[in-house]
Structure 1
Protein backbone atom coordinates (compact mmCIF):
# COMPACT_ATOMS: atom_id res chain seq x y z
CA UNK A 1 0.00 0.00 0.00
CA UNK A 2 1.48 3.30 -1.02
CA UNK A 3 1.25 6.28 1.26
CA UNK A 4 -1.67 8.59 0.46
CA UNK A 5 -0.58 11.98 -0.79
CA UNK A 6 0.08 14.26 2.14
CA UNK A 7 -0.26 11.55 4.79
CA UNK A 8 3.21 10.08 5.08
CA UNK A 9 2.00 6.76 6.51
CA UNK A 10 4.56 5.36 8.93
CA UNK A 11 5.83 8.77 10.07
CA UNK A 12 2.82 10.09 11.98
CA UNK A 13 2.20 9.34 15.64
CA UNK A 14 -1.57 9.61 15.20
CA UNK A 15 -4.22 7.77 13.21
CA UNK A 16 -7.20 9.80 12.01
CA UNK A 17 -10.61 8.20 11.49
CA UNK A 18 -13.01 10.32 9.45
CA UNK A 19 -16.73 9.51 9.45
CA UNK A 20 -18.66 10.87 6.46
CA UNK A 21 -22.38 11.27 5.76
CA UNK A 22 -24.40 13.90 3.89
CA UNK A 23 -25.24 16.81 6.18
CA UNK A 24 -22.94 15.95 9.11
CA UNK A 25 -25.82 16.49 11.51
CA UNK A 26 -27.22 12.94 11.95
CA UNK A 27 -25.34 9.78 10.94
CA UNK A 28 -21.72 10.91 10.99
CA UNK A 29 -22.03 12.81 14.30
CA UNK A 30 -23.62 9.74 15.89
CA UNK A 31 -20.86 7.54 14.49
CA UNK A 32 -18.08 9.94 15.51
CA UNK A 33 -19.27 10.29 19.09
CA UNK A 34 -20.11 6.60 19.51
CA UNK A 35 -16.59 5.76 18.29
CA UNK A 36 -15.06 8.14 20.80
CA UNK A 37 -17.27 6.73 23.54
CA UNK A 38 -16.28 3.15 22.67
CA UNK A 39 -12.59 4.06 22.67
CA UNK A 40 -12.94 5.73 26.04
CA UNK A 41 -14.83 2.72 27.41
CA UNK A 42 -12.04 0.37 26.37
CA UNK A 43 -8.99 2.53 26.96
CA UNK A 44 -9.98 4.92 29.73
CA UNK A 45 -8.18 8.23 29.99
CA UNK A 46 -5.70 7.32 27.24
CA UNK A 47 -8.67 7.85 24.82
CA UNK A 48 -7.53 6.22 21.64
CA UNK A 49 -3.80 5.80 22.11
CA UNK A 50 -3.16 8.13 19.17
CA UNK A 51 -6.50 7.53 17.44
CA UNK A 52 -8.29 10.75 16.46
CA UNK A 53 -11.98 10.59 15.47
CA UNK A 54 -13.64 13.28 13.33
CA UNK A 55 -16.58 13.67 10.94
CA UNK A 56 -17.76 15.76 8.00
CA UNK A 57 -20.54 15.82 5.40
CA UNK A 58 -20.47 15.76 1.61
CA UNK A 59 -23.14 18.48 1.79
CA UNK A 60 -22.16 19.42 5.30
CA UNK A 61 -24.13 22.01 7.24
CA UNK A 62 -21.07 24.06 8.15
CA UNK A 63 -21.29 25.31 11.71
CA UNK A 64 -24.66 23.63 12.36
CA UNK A 65 -25.48 21.80 15.59
CA UNK A 66 -26.25 18.12 15.68
CA UNK A 67 -29.89 17.17 15.13
CA UNK A 68 -31.72 16.94 18.50
CA UNK A 69 -32.77 13.34 17.81
CA UNK A 70 -29.13 12.45 17.17
CA UNK A 71 -28.23 13.93 20.55
CA UNK A 72 -30.97 11.83 22.14
CA UNK A 73 -29.57 8.67 20.54
CA UNK A 74 -26.10 9.46 21.88
CA UNK A 75 -27.53 10.04 25.35
CA UNK A 76 -29.15 6.59 25.16
CA UNK A 77 -25.66 5.11 24.85
CA UNK A 78 -24.11 7.41 27.43
CA UNK A 79 -22.05 9.20 24.77
CA UNK A 80 -21.19 12.90 24.83
CA UNK A 81 -22.83 15.12 22.20
CA UNK A 82 -21.54 18.43 23.59
CA UNK A 83 -19.56 20.89 21.50
CA UNK A 84 -20.36 19.34 18.15
CA UNK A 85 -20.24 21.60 15.07
CA UNK A 86 -21.09 20.41 11.55
CA UNK A 87 -18.43 20.54 8.83
CA UNK A 88 -18.45 20.37 5.06
CA UNK A 89 -16.08 17.71 3.72
CA UNK A 90 -12.91 19.33 2.40
CA UNK A 91 -9.84 18.02 0.62
CA UNK A 92 -7.76 18.59 3.73
CA UNK A 93 -9.99 16.24 5.74
CA UNK A 94 -9.48 13.42 3.25
CA UNK A 95 -5.75 14.11 2.93
CA UNK A 96 -5.22 13.86 6.69
CA UNK A 97 -7.44 10.81 7.23
CA UNK A 98 -5.89 7.36 7.63
CA UNK A 99 -9.32 5.69 7.51
CA UNK A 100 -12.53 7.11 6.04
CA UNK A 101 -15.77 5.37 7.02
CA UNK A 102 -18.88 6.50 5.14
CA UNK A 103 -22.58 5.96 5.71
CA UNK A 104 -23.29 4.81 2.14
CA UNK A 105 -21.62 3.63 -1.06
CA UNK A 106 -22.44 6.98 -2.67
CA UNK A 107 -20.53 8.81 0.06
CA UNK A 108 -17.64 6.40 -0.43
CA UNK A 109 -17.62 7.15 -4.17
CA UNK A 110 -17.68 10.89 -3.50
CA UNK A 111 -14.70 10.66 -1.14
CA UNK A 112 -12.71 8.54 -3.60
CA UNK A 113 -13.53 10.94 -6.45
CA UNK A 114 -11.76 13.71 -4.53
CA UNK A 115 -8.47 11.93 -5.19
CA UNK A 116 -5.64 11.97 -2.65
CA UNK A 117 -5.14 8.20 -3.07
CA UNK A 118 -8.19 7.68 -0.86
CA UNK A 119 -9.42 4.44 -2.44
CA UNK A 120 -7.49 2.01 -0.24
CA UNK A 121 -8.50 3.73 3.00
CA UNK A 122 -12.15 4.53 2.30
CA UNK A 123 -14.96 2.08 3.11
CA UNK A 124 -18.58 2.25 4.12
CA UNK A 125 -18.89 1.60 7.84
CA UNK A 126 -20.74 -1.68 7.38
CA UNK A 127 -18.34 -2.80 4.64
CA UNK A 128 -15.38 -2.20 6.96
CA UNK A 129 -17.14 -4.10 9.75
CA UNK A 130 -17.71 -7.08 7.45
CA UNK A 131 -14.06 -7.12 6.38
CA UNK A 132 -12.74 -6.64 9.92
CA UNK A 133 -14.72 -9.65 11.14
CA UNK A 134 -12.77 -11.81 8.66
CA UNK A 135 -9.34 -10.66 9.89
CA UNK A 136 -7.55 -12.80 12.47
CA UNK A 137 -6.58 -10.44 15.33
CA UNK A 138 -3.44 -12.52 15.89
CA UNK A 139 -2.10 -11.29 12.54
CA UNK A 140 -2.23 -7.65 13.68
CA UNK A 141 0.47 -5.81 15.63
CA UNK A 142 0.15 -5.97 19.40
CA UNK A 143 -1.24 -2.62 20.60
CA UNK A 144 0.82 -2.79 23.79
CA UNK A 145 4.20 -3.49 22.23
CA UNK A 146 3.76 -1.99 18.75
CA UNK A 147 1.25 0.73 19.52
CA UNK A 148 -2.35 1.40 18.60
CA UNK A 149 -1.41 3.44 15.53
CA UNK A 150 0.59 0.63 13.93
CA UNK A 151 -2.22 -1.81 14.67
CA UNK A 152 -4.77 0.53 13.06
CA UNK A 153 -2.67 0.96 9.93
CA UNK A 154 -2.23 -2.79 9.61
CA UNK A 155 -5.98 -3.29 10.03
CA UNK A 156 -6.74 -0.92 7.15
CA UNK A 157 -4.20 -2.66 4.90
CA UNK A 158 -5.69 -6.06 5.71
CA UNK A 159 -9.24 -4.86 5.08
CA UNK A 160 -8.28 -3.31 1.74
CA UNK A 161 -6.65 -6.58 0.67
CA UNK A 162 -9.86 -8.50 1.46
CA UNK A 163 -12.27 -6.15 -0.26
CA UNK A 164 -12.30 -7.86 -3.65
CA UNK A 165 -12.69 -11.31 -2.10
CA UNK A 166 -15.32 -10.82 0.58
CA UNK A 167 -18.37 -9.31 -1.09
CA UNK A 168 -21.54 -8.01 0.52
CA UNK A 169 -24.61 -10.27 0.35
CA UNK A 170 -26.49 -7.32 -1.17
CA UNK A 171 -25.81 -3.71 -2.08
CA UNK A 172 -28.04 -2.52 0.75
CA UNK A 173 -26.03 -4.52 3.29
CA UNK A 174 -23.30 -1.86 3.26
CA UNK A 175 -25.64 1.12 3.73
CA UNK A 176 -26.75 3.12 6.76
CA UNK A 177 -29.99 4.89 5.88
CA UNK A 178 -30.51 8.60 6.50
CA UNK A 179 -32.78 9.35 9.49
CA UNK A 180 -32.93 13.11 8.80
CA UNK A 181 -36.46 14.34 9.47
CA UNK A 182 -37.57 10.95 10.80
CA UNK A 183 -39.11 10.30 14.25
CA UNK A 184 -36.96 9.36 17.21
CA UNK A 185 -37.87 5.66 16.84
CA UNK A 186 -36.13 5.55 13.45
CA UNK A 187 -33.15 7.51 14.78
CA UNK A 188 -32.82 4.94 17.55
CA UNK A 189 -32.88 2.05 15.06
CA UNK A 190 -30.12 3.76 13.06
CA UNK A 191 -28.18 4.36 16.28
CA UNK A 192 -28.43 0.65 17.09
CA UNK A 193 -27.18 -0.23 13.57
CA UNK A 194 -24.21 2.09 13.92
CA UNK A 195 -23.41 0.85 17.43
CA UNK A 196 -23.46 -2.79 16.31
CA UNK A 197 -21.28 -2.01 13.29
CA UNK A 198 -18.75 -0.09 15.38
CA UNK A 199 -18.28 -2.70 18.12
CA UNK A 200 -16.11 -5.15 16.14
CA UNK A 201 -14.23 -2.27 14.51
CA UNK A 202 -13.21 -0.68 17.80
CA UNK A 203 -12.36 -4.10 19.23
CA UNK A 204 -10.10 -4.81 16.25
CA UNK A 205 -8.46 -1.37 16.48
CA UNK A 206 -7.72 -1.59 20.20
CA UNK A 207 -7.47 -5.31 20.87
CA UNK A 208 -9.89 -4.75 23.77
CA UNK A 209 -13.45 -6.05 23.82
CA UNK A 210 -16.36 -3.97 25.06
CA UNK A 211 -17.33 -4.22 28.71
CA UNK A 212 -20.46 -6.31 29.17
Structure 2
Protein backbone atom coordinates (compact mmCIF):
# COMPACT_ATOMS: atom_id res chain seq x y z
CA UNK A 1 0.00 0.00 0.00
CA UNK A 2 1.38 3.38 -1.00
CA UNK A 3 0.09 6.46 0.79
CA UNK A 4 1.02 9.89 -0.57
CA UNK A 5 0.53 13.02 1.55
CA UNK A 6 0.44 16.44 -0.14
CA UNK A 7 0.66 20.03 1.07
CA UNK A 8 2.25 23.18 -0.38
CA UNK A 9 5.94 23.39 0.57
CA UNK A 10 6.38 19.81 1.84
CA UNK A 11 8.16 21.14 4.93
CA UNK A 12 5.39 21.37 7.57
CA UNK A 13 2.06 19.58 7.24
CA UNK A 14 2.72 16.75 4.79
CA UNK A 15 6.01 15.58 6.35
CA UNK A 16 4.34 15.59 9.77
CA UNK A 17 1.51 13.40 8.48
CA UNK A 18 3.99 11.19 6.58
CA UNK A 19 6.05 10.46 9.67
CA UNK A 20 3.12 10.10 12.11
CA UNK A 21 1.16 7.82 9.76
CA UNK A 22 4.22 5.64 9.12
CA UNK A 23 4.78 5.29 12.87
CA UNK A 24 1.12 4.59 13.62
CA UNK A 25 0.54 2.14 10.77
CA UNK A 26 3.79 0.26 11.25
CA UNK A 27 4.86 1.33 7.78
CA UNK A 28 7.98 2.88 6.36
CA UNK A 29 8.51 6.35 5.02
CA UNK A 30 10.44 7.48 1.98
CA UNK A 31 14.16 6.99 2.53
CA UNK A 32 13.75 4.60 5.46
CA UNK A 33 15.16 1.14 4.98
CA UNK A 34 12.91 -1.84 5.53
CA UNK A 35 15.66 -4.34 6.29
CA UNK A 36 15.59 -5.73 2.76
CA UNK A 37 11.88 -6.55 2.99
CA UNK A 38 9.22 -4.76 0.99
CA UNK A 39 7.09 -2.83 3.48
CA UNK A 40 3.36 -3.54 3.64
CA UNK A 41 2.66 0.20 3.85
CA UNK A 42 4.89 2.96 2.54
CA UNK A 43 4.06 6.58 3.33
CA UNK A 44 5.62 9.44 1.38
CA UNK A 45 4.90 13.12 0.89
CA UNK A 46 5.37 15.91 -1.64
CA UNK A 47 4.50 19.55 -2.13
CA UNK A 48 2.48 21.28 -4.83
CA UNK A 49 5.01 24.13 -4.55
CA UNK A 50 7.77 22.33 -2.71
CA UNK A 51 10.86 23.88 -1.16
CA UNK A 52 12.80 21.08 -2.85
CA UNK A 53 15.55 19.56 -0.71
CA UNK A 54 14.57 21.44 2.47
CA UNK A 55 14.19 19.74 5.84
CA UNK A 56 11.02 19.76 7.91
CA UNK A 57 10.70 23.05 9.78
CA UNK A 58 12.13 22.98 13.29
CA UNK A 59 8.77 23.87 14.84
CA UNK A 60 6.95 20.98 13.14
CA UNK A 61 9.85 18.59 13.70
CA UNK A 62 9.65 19.27 17.44
CA UNK A 63 5.91 18.46 17.48
CA UNK A 64 6.33 15.31 15.39
CA UNK A 65 9.23 14.06 17.50
CA UNK A 66 7.33 14.68 20.73
CA UNK A 67 4.50 12.52 19.36
CA UNK A 68 6.56 9.50 18.32
CA UNK A 69 7.44 10.33 14.72
CA UNK A 70 10.93 10.18 13.24
CA UNK A 71 12.17 13.50 11.88
CA UNK A 72 15.67 12.79 10.56
CA UNK A 73 16.54 12.43 6.91
CA UNK A 74 13.58 14.30 5.50
CA UNK A 75 13.95 16.26 2.24
CA UNK A 76 11.08 18.08 0.55
CA UNK A 77 10.19 17.10 -3.01
CA UNK A 78 7.97 18.44 -5.76
CA UNK A 79 4.67 16.66 -6.48
CA UNK A 80 4.53 14.88 -9.84
CA UNK A 81 1.83 13.05 -11.76
CA UNK A 82 3.88 9.85 -11.45
CA UNK A 83 3.77 10.03 -7.65
CA UNK A 84 0.00 10.41 -7.71
CA UNK A 85 -0.49 7.63 -10.25
CA UNK A 86 1.54 5.16 -8.17
CA UNK A 87 -0.24 5.94 -4.88
CA UNK A 88 -3.10 3.79 -3.60
CA UNK A 89 -4.49 6.73 -1.64
CA UNK A 90 -3.60 10.43 -1.64
CA UNK A 91 -4.22 12.53 1.48
CA UNK A 92 -3.97 16.30 1.17
CA UNK A 93 -3.72 19.13 3.68
CA UNK A 94 -6.52 21.18 2.09
CA UNK A 95 -9.34 21.04 -0.43
CA UNK A 96 -7.20 23.21 -2.74
CA UNK A 97 -4.43 20.61 -2.65
CA UNK A 98 -6.97 17.90 -3.41
CA UNK A 99 -8.06 19.85 -6.49
CA UNK A 100 -4.43 20.23 -7.58
CA UNK A 101 -3.88 16.47 -7.31
CA UNK A 102 -7.00 15.66 -9.32
CA UNK A 103 -6.08 18.26 -11.98
CA UNK A 104 -2.73 16.52 -12.45
CA UNK A 105 -4.23 13.00 -12.47
CA UNK A 106 -8.03 13.02 -12.96
CA UNK A 107 -8.18 9.24 -12.50
CA UNK A 108 -7.11 9.73 -8.86
CA UNK A 109 -10.35 11.49 -7.90
CA UNK A 110 -11.90 8.51 -6.07
CA UNK A 111 -8.75 7.82 -4.02
CA UNK A 112 -7.83 11.40 -3.14
CA UNK A 113 -9.12 12.94 0.08
CA UNK A 114 -8.16 15.71 2.41
CA UNK A 115 -6.60 14.20 5.53
CA UNK A 116 -9.40 15.41 7.79
CA UNK A 117 -12.08 14.28 5.32
CA UNK A 118 -10.60 10.77 5.19
CA UNK A 119 -10.46 10.63 8.98
CA UNK A 120 -14.07 11.81 9.30
CA UNK A 121 -15.21 9.14 6.84
CA UNK A 122 -13.03 6.47 8.48
CA UNK A 123 -14.67 7.21 11.82
CA UNK A 124 -18.03 6.05 10.39
CA UNK A 125 -16.67 2.64 9.36
CA UNK A 126 -17.41 -0.24 11.71
CA UNK A 127 -14.60 -2.68 12.42
CA UNK A 128 -16.76 -5.52 11.06
CA UNK A 129 -16.78 -3.80 7.64
CA UNK A 130 -13.02 -4.28 7.37
CA UNK A 131 -11.08 -7.54 6.99
CA UNK A 132 -10.74 -9.32 10.33
CA UNK A 133 -8.58 -12.11 11.73
CA UNK A 134 -5.58 -12.95 9.59
CA UNK A 135 -5.62 -9.62 7.80
CA UNK A 136 -2.91 -7.01 7.90
CA UNK A 137 -3.06 -3.29 8.54
CA UNK A 138 -2.40 -2.87 4.80
CA UNK A 139 -5.40 -5.10 4.00
CA UNK A 140 -7.62 -3.03 6.25
CA UNK A 141 -6.34 0.26 4.83
CA UNK A 142 -6.95 -1.00 1.28
CA UNK A 143 -10.52 -1.95 2.24
CA UNK A 144 -11.11 1.42 3.92
CA UNK A 145 -10.51 3.45 0.75
CA UNK A 146 -13.62 2.35 -1.23
CA UNK A 147 -15.72 2.49 1.95
CA UNK A 148 -14.64 6.10 2.51
CA UNK A 149 -15.30 6.94 -1.13
CA UNK A 150 -18.83 5.53 -0.91
CA UNK A 151 -19.59 7.65 2.18
CA UNK A 152 -18.21 10.87 0.72
CA UNK A 153 -21.59 12.35 -0.23
CA UNK A 154 -23.42 11.41 2.95
CA UNK A 155 -20.94 12.33 5.70
CA UNK A 156 -20.20 16.03 5.36
CA UNK A 157 -18.28 18.44 7.60
CA UNK A 158 -20.14 21.14 9.54
CA UNK A 159 -18.36 23.66 7.33
CA UNK A 160 -16.08 23.12 4.35
CA UNK A 161 -13.04 24.59 6.13
CA UNK A 162 -13.24 21.69 8.62
CA UNK A 163 -11.58 19.55 5.94
CA UNK A 164 -8.48 21.77 5.82
CA UNK A 165 -5.33 21.84 7.96
CA UNK A 166 -4.11 25.41 8.45
CA UNK A 167 -0.69 26.25 6.99
CA UNK A 168 1.65 27.19 9.87
CA UNK A 169 4.62 28.22 7.72
CA UNK A 170 5.92 31.64 8.71
CA UNK A 171 3.73 31.72 11.80
CA UNK A 172 4.72 31.37 15.41
CA UNK A 173 4.48 28.49 17.81
CA UNK A 174 0.76 29.01 18.39
CA UNK A 175 -0.02 28.58 14.68
CA UNK A 176 2.12 25.44 14.51
CA UNK A 177 0.24 24.10 17.55
CA UNK A 178 -3.09 24.83 15.85
CA UNK A 179 -2.01 23.10 12.65
CA UNK A 180 -0.71 20.08 14.55
CA UNK A 181 -3.91 19.92 16.61
CA UNK A 182 -5.84 19.59 13.34
CA UNK A 183 -3.66 16.95 11.71
CA UNK A 184 -2.65 14.72 14.62
CA UNK A 185 -6.19 13.65 15.67
CA UNK A 186 -6.96 12.86 12.03
CA UNK A 187 -3.89 10.63 11.80
CA UNK A 188 -4.86 8.97 15.08
CA UNK A 189 -8.40 8.27 13.80
CA UNK A 190 -7.12 6.65 10.61
CA UNK A 191 -4.61 4.54 12.53
CA UNK A 192 -7.16 3.39 15.09
CA UNK A 193 -9.60 2.43 12.33
CA UNK A 194 -7.21 0.16 10.45
CA UNK A 195 -4.96 -1.24 13.18
CA UNK A 196 -6.11 -4.54 14.69
Q: Normalising by structure 2, what TM-score? A: 0.89
Equivalent position to 2:117, from 127, 147, 152: 127
Question: In 2, distance between residues paired with 1:73 and 1:150?
Answer: 29
Distance in 1 between residues matched to 2:167 and 2:97, nearest whole Å: 12
Deviations 1:124-148 (A, max 9, x none): 0110111011111111112x52333
- Aligned twin of 1:5: none
TM-score, normalization: structure 1?
A: 0.83
The whole-number CA distance in structure 2 between the counterparts of 1:78 and 1:204 is 19
Alpha-carbon offset, residue 166 of structure 1: 1.2
Instruction: Please say if 1:20 is aligned against 2:6.
Output: yes
8 Å CA contact 2:25, 2:137 repeated in 1 = no
Task: Give CA deviations for 1:149-203 in whole Å, capped at 9, x if unaligned.
Answer: 3321210000000101111110111010100011122212211221111111011
Which residue number in structure 2 is paired with residue 197 of structure 1? 186
1:49 shift after superposition = 6.2
Aligned partners of 1:193 and 1:148: how far apart in 2?
Answer: 24
Aligned to 2:75: 85
Which residue of structure 1 lines up, in the alignment, with residue 31 of structure 2? Answer: none
CA offset digits 1:69-126 (Å, max 9, x no partner): 1111112213210000001001111011101110000000110111251011000011
Partner of 1:148: 137
Number of residue pairs matched? Answer: 188
Q: 1:23 & 1:187 partners in 2: Cα distance?
A: 15
Structural mapping, 1:45-194, within 5 Å: 50-115=40-105, 117-142=107-132, 144-194=133-183
| Counterpart for residue 16 of structure 2 | 30
After superposition, the C-alpha distances for 1:32-51 in whole angstroms (9 at most, x for unaligned) are 1111222249xxx99x9601
**Counterpart-to-counterpart distance in 2, 1:34 and 1:156:** 19
The root-mean-square deviation of aligned C-alpha atoms, in Å, is 2.0
Counterparts of 1:49 and 1:192 in 2: how far apart (Å)?
28
Q: Where do 5+ consecutive residues of structure 1 fail to align? A: 1-14, 208-212
